[in-house]
Each structure stands twice: as C-alpha cells, then as structure tokens.
A and B are shown apart, each in its own frame.
Chain A
Amino acid sequence: MSKYLNFIAERNQIRYLVISVIFLIFSFFWIYPLLWVLSASLKTDFEIWGGLGLIPEKLIWENFERAWFGANMGRYFFNTLIITFFSVTIVVITTGMFGYVIGRYSFPGKKILVGILISTIFIPQGYTIIPIFDLLNNLNLSKNLIGLTLATAGHTPVIYILLFAGYFSRIPVELEEAAKMDGAGFIRIFVTIMLPLTKPVVATVSILQVLHAWNDFLLPLVITLANPGIRTLSVGVYAFKGEYFVDWSGMAAASVITILPIIVLFLFMQKYFVEGVQGAVKG
C-alpha cells in the first residue's frame, strides 16, 4: 500500500514538474516583447535589428537622455504624474463619499441615482469624446492640465462607487450608533470612523485609477491635438513615432520611461491590482 502511495506521489511530482517547465517556456515567450523593448532601449539602432538576443553589447544610456530631453518625454512624464495624482485624489474623495451614502443610507431619489449611474457603465469612450473635447474648449480648460485631469477623473467612476458601496454596507451599524451616542455628526462619523476602515478599498480604487489615468490614450490624444505642451506619456510616444520615426532606440527608451513605473508599482502592490480587477465580476 505505501509503495503504491509513493508511486502516486512521485507521479504527481513529475506531473507538476512537467507543467512548471511548460509554463516557464510559455512565460518566456509571453514576456519576450516587454524584455525586447527594455533591451532595445539600451542598444544601438544597428544592434536592435541585428538579432534576437536580449543582452546589449554596451549599455547606451544616451538613448534615455535623447528621449527625456530631446523628445520632451521629461515634460510628458511630469504631465502624466500630475494628471494621475490629482485624478486619483478627486476620484477617491468623490466616489468614496458617493459610495458611503449609497451603501449605508436610503433617501428619496437614491434608486434613480443608482439607475442612472449603472446605465452609463458600458458607454463606449468613442461616443462621449467629441462633446468632452467641445466642453473643455468652451470652458477654456483645453490648454492646461486642469481640464485633462477633470475629464480623466470623470471617465468611469461607476465600478469604484460599487466597490465603496459594497464595503461600506458591510460595516456593522453598532459602530455608528455608538458614535452617534457620543454626539458625533455625519461628517465626523464618516471621517473618523468609516474612512479608516476602508483603507483596502481606497487602495484598490487608487490603483485602478492610477492604471487608468497613466495608460489612457484616446482622451489625452484628442485633448492635446492642438496643445503638444500638455501631452501625456502615451501620446508623447505616439507623436515621437510620427516625428522621429528612424530613432528606434530613442523610441524604445521613451516606451520604457512610460511603462516601467506602472510595472514596478504592480510588482509591489499586486494584491490590490488583483482585487480591483476581480471586483468587476464579483460585484
């Protein structure tokens, strides 16, 4: 009997070893394009098209210098950083407040509000982009970062609201009642009792919005068509391709400047990325 069990265990071990090896090979191919652009950013143009190898002969850091200063990626980096930071702040505060009220209170008009919001979940971006462009022009907000930040924050808050509402609704009522006995008002209960309890949702929503704001393309492309000074990184690299299309290594460096911060953030805060993504189907 024990011989048989040993045989089973051994067979399973071999099976998992085989699966692991297959996945390792698969992973290498999967990640190859990203490794390729990383290595291209440190190669010469000649070397990029020379072979499939990933290790540069000599590290050419000047590629990054050319991209950062010559192609203005430095400026676009800070534009993107500002838009991301402020749109996250706006989104967390406004959807947090909205989700709190929706999750814990009932009041006249609540059902209508929720219904309107839900119905906008699947509106394609291509549908709203032209009026947004026109609106920002009319408000004189299309020439600075304010308009782009607001529009980025306004894009898809519905899923965030649902995440907040779900979490707030599960906090026990007793906590709130005890605070009310002590004479705490609506705002004090929200700020001192409820908000500290929702740190995980704040983290998840922030991560999702960072991902959205940093990587968005259609909106910043349209808004910055006439104002290259407020381009974001994604739009900047796209313009780079149009303007200096022979500078492959510079473009690879510009791409790395754009994608590396988010990849690093993802590696460190993976848990929240996963929770945010899965929240969409769990809800």
Chain B
Amino acid sequence: MNRKTLFQQIYDARWCYIFVFPCLVITSLFVLYPIGMSWYFSLLDWTGFTKDAKFIGFQNYIEAVNDEFFWNAFFRSFIFMFGTVPVKIILGFIIAVFLNNQVLKLAPFFRTIIFMPVVTAIAIIGIVMTFVFSPFNGPANKFLMGMNITSGPIDFLGDPNTVLPTVMGVYVWKWLGITMMYWLAALQTVPQDVYDAAKIDGAQGFKLWFHIILPIVLPFAIVIVLVEAVGALNVFPLIETMTAGGPFFSSEVMEVYIFRTAFVTDSGTMPRLGYACAAGVFWGVAVLFITVLQGIWIRKTRRL
C-alpha cells in the first residue's frame, strides 16, 4: 500500500479543517488566548483601566505568596472542597440507591424535586439564602426557634464561625441533584441479573452493596469524585452573592479573592488586574495539578 504524502492527506481532509474552524476560533478567543494572556498580565503592574502597564517580572507572585489573605483564601477553597465533596458523594449515593428501585412508584417525582435547585440560577440561590438565613425573622431561625432547638436567633452569615458551614450546606443542597444523577447513571449500568444472582446466593443488604455493586460502580465513582472536586473549587457565584467573602474575609475563597483584587474598588484601593492575574495563574496551576494527579489515579484503577 502506498502511503499518501502529508500534503495529499491534508488536501483530502480539507472539509474536516473547514468544519473544525468556527469552533476553533471561538475556543481560541475565549479559552486559549485568555490562558496565555493571564500569564503575561501576571507579570505587569497594571490597573486595567489605563494603558500604562509596567513590566515587573515576578513581583506579583512574590507579593501573593507573602499575602496572608491569599493563603487564607487558598486553603479555604480546599476546606470547602473537603467539607462538601464527601457529603455530596455519600448522600447522593444513598438517595440514588433508594430512587433506583423500580418498585418505588414516586421515585421520578422525588428525583425531580431533588434536582430542582440544580436548574435554579446560582446567584439567585445566593441572594434568596441571605433572606432564609437572616437573623431578623428569617425562615431558618423562625423554624429553629419555633421547634425550640435554639433559644435566640443565630446570625448564620454574620458570624465568622458559622458562615462557612452555612455556605457549604447551601452548596450541597444546590448541587446534590447532579451527584444523584451521576450515581443513578452508574447504578443503571449494573445489570438486573447481578441483583438476581446475588439474591440466589443469599447476598443481601450490606454484603450485596459492598462486595457486588460497589466494585461495579467504582470506575464511575472515581470520575464522579474528580468532577465533584473540581466543581467545589469553583464556587464564586454562591459565595459572592451570599457573603461577598465576609464577614471579615472569613468566607473568602480563591475566586472571590481574585475578583476582589481585580474589580472591587469600594475600599478605596485601586483595582489591580496584574496582581489578580498572578493569583489566578497560581490558582489555575494548583487546580490543574490536582486534576492531573486524579487523572493518573483514574488511569491506574481502570487498568486494574
């Protein structure tokens, strides 16, 4: 067989390139170009509103790693991740196991209800939740006091000790429907014969789930963990609308920090786009590092 020359191959595939082109242009403009430019911007001393940008090398990075607020936000993002992802994974799994049962007639209805917050605009959820958790007659406090669980109102979002757990709870509530759908997709790959065979062998309850079902859904579980982990690091809209990082920066995660240093000027400081980009690049690389680690983990388990 005579191989075609590269030129010939390219010519034959000319339509392929034409078809790829429109999407490639958009991706280049709004994904690839911004990635590249944020590296460049991160080396500038620049407000973003004037043309005079000064090249300062790695000054922004040095300043970031010496900023206490930066590291607080950095680690708070991971606290957020480790606090929400396991809860979502376990709770989502339990609900999916119940709703996967064909005998439960109301399962589709429950599925719809649990999924409902997922389709609701996240910024609106954040704003509505500031009402729900208001210390002044908010429904959450009304309920707790009506049931005699607490004696006085709790300032859920105004107290640095309760603000992060509250936001994490709302986050789990908002996105649990997605986790449940992931698990349902995983459970639906378990063939009915497996259940039947297991029952004949007398495997029930705990044994059935741990020794038979879990190994089948494990490859899914790892992808779910990866998707959930990255998702929990991108929580800007919820936190910005619920607390804007407050009180006293106690709920400021990384993206809120970037947004604040880049665009928020009401404390009298100048916006600093260059510095914010440096923080963003640092953050992006950290997230990428975690993703790659998890990717390697996925590959290893899939091969086994």
Tell me the residues in window 115-148 of chain B with beta carbons closer than 8 Å to chain A beta carbons: 115-125, 127-132, 136-137, 139, 142-143, 146
Q: Is B65 an interface residue (CB 8 A)?
A: no
Question: Is A115 part of the binding interface, using a Cβ–Cβ cutoff of 8 Å?
Answer: no
Stretch at the interface among A59-67, A176-184, A196-204, A272-280: A272-280
Contact residue among B128, B184, B234 (Cβ-Cβ distance under 8 Å from A125): B234
A interface footprint on B8-34 (CB within 8 Å = 1, 0 otherwise): 011011011101101110110111111
* Contact pattern, B 271-286, Cβ under 8 Å of A = 1, otherwise 0: 0010011001101100
Max count, chain B CB within 10 A of own CB: residue among A20, A151, A154, A267:
A154
**Most chain A C-beta atoms within 10 Å of own C-beta, residue among B110, B136, B223:** B110
Q: Would you call the interface of chain A mostly helix, strand, loop, or mixed? A: helix
Within 8 A of B (CB), among A203-260: 211, 214-215, 217-218, 221-222, 225, 233-235, 237-238, 241, 248, 251-252, 255, 258-259
Shortest distance from the beta carbon of A99 to any chain B beta carbon, whole Å: 9
Inter-chain contact B263/A222, CB cutoff 8 Å: yes
Indicate which residue in B17, B220, B283 contacts A127 across the interface (CB closer than 8 Å): B283
A72: interface (CB < 8 Å): no
A108 touches B6 (CB 8 A): yes
Give B236's nearest chain A residue, CB to CB.
A218
B236 touches A186 (CB 8 A): no
Cβ A31 vs Cβ B116 within 8 A: yes
Instruction: Take A251-B127, A278-B185 as given contacts and tell me if A127 and B35 are in contact as well, using a CB distance cutoff of 8 Å.
Output: yes
- CB-contact partner of B16 in A12, A101, A258, under 8 A: A101
Query: Across the interface, do A255 and B185 meet the contact criterion of CB distance under 8 Å?
Result: no
Tell me if B55 counts as interface (CB < 8 A to partner A).
Answer: no
User: With a CB–CB cut-off of 8 A, which chain A residues contact B112?
Assistant: 267, 270
Q: Point out the residue from A135, A214, A263 that lies within 8 Å of B33, measured CB to CB.
A: A135
Is the pair A120, B31 in contact by a Cβ cutoff of 8 Å? yes
Please indicate the chain A residues that have their CB under 8 angstroms from the CB of B22 in the complex.
93-94, 97-98
Per the bound structure, the CA–CA distance linking A277 and B92 in Å amounts to 14
Given the interface contacts A94-B22, A108-B10, A225-B263, does A238 sit within 8 Å of B123 by beta carbon? yes
Taking residues whose C-beta sits less than 8 angstroms from the other chain, chain B's interface range is 35 or more
The verdict on B90 contacting chain A, using a C-beta distance below 8 Å, is: no
A27, closest chain B residue (CB): B113
The A1-43 residues at the B interface (CB cut-off 8 A) are: 12, 16, 19-20, 23-24, 27, 30-34, 36-37, 40
Q: Are B236 and A126 in contact, CB atoms less than 8 angstroms apart?
A: yes
* Contacts known (A94-B23, A225-B263); A150 close to B124, Cβ less than 8 A: no
Q: Does A122 contact B (CB under 8 A)?
A: yes
> Within 8 Å CB of A130, what residues of B?
34, 38, 41, 48, 262, 273, 276-277, 280
- Would you call A51 an interface residue if the criterion is a C-beta within 8 Å of the partner chain's C-beta atoms? yes
B283:A128 contact, CB within 8 angstroms: no
Q: With an 8 A cutoff between CB atoms, is B153 at the interface?
A: no
**Chain A residues near B35 (CB-CB < 8 A):** 120, 123, 127-128, 131
Residues of B within 8 A of A110 (CB): 16
Asked if B123 and A262 make an inter-chain contact with CB atoms under 8 angstroms apart, the answer reads: no
Are A215 and B6 neighbours in the complex by a CB distance under 8 Å?
A: no
Task: Give the contacting residue for A128; candidates B9, B30, B173, B178; CB below 8 A.
Answer: B30
13 contacts between A and B (CB under 8 A): A37-B131, A117-B27, A125-B234, A127-B280, A127-B284, A128-B30, A130-B34, A131-B37, A134-B48, A217-B236, A221-B240, A234-B124, A266-B119
Which residues of A are in contact with B by a Cβ distance under 8 Å?
12, 16, 19-20, 23-24, 27, 30-34, 36-37, 40, 49-52, 90, 93-95, 97-98, 100-102, 105, 107-108, 110, 113, 116-117, 120, 122-135, 150-151, 153-155, 157, 161, 186-187, 190, 211, 214-215, 217-218, 221-222, 225, 233-235, 237-238, 241, 248, 251-252, 255, 258-259, 262-263, 265-267, 270, 273-274, 277-278, 280-282
Sample of 19 more A-B contacts, CB < 8 Å, known A24-B106, A126-B259: A30-B173, A33-B139, A34-B120, A36-B132, A124-B284, A126-B254, A130-B262, A130-B273, A131-B41, A132-B30, A150-B26, A153-B30, A155-B30, A217-B236, A248-B131, A259-B124, A263-B116, A270-B115, A273-B115
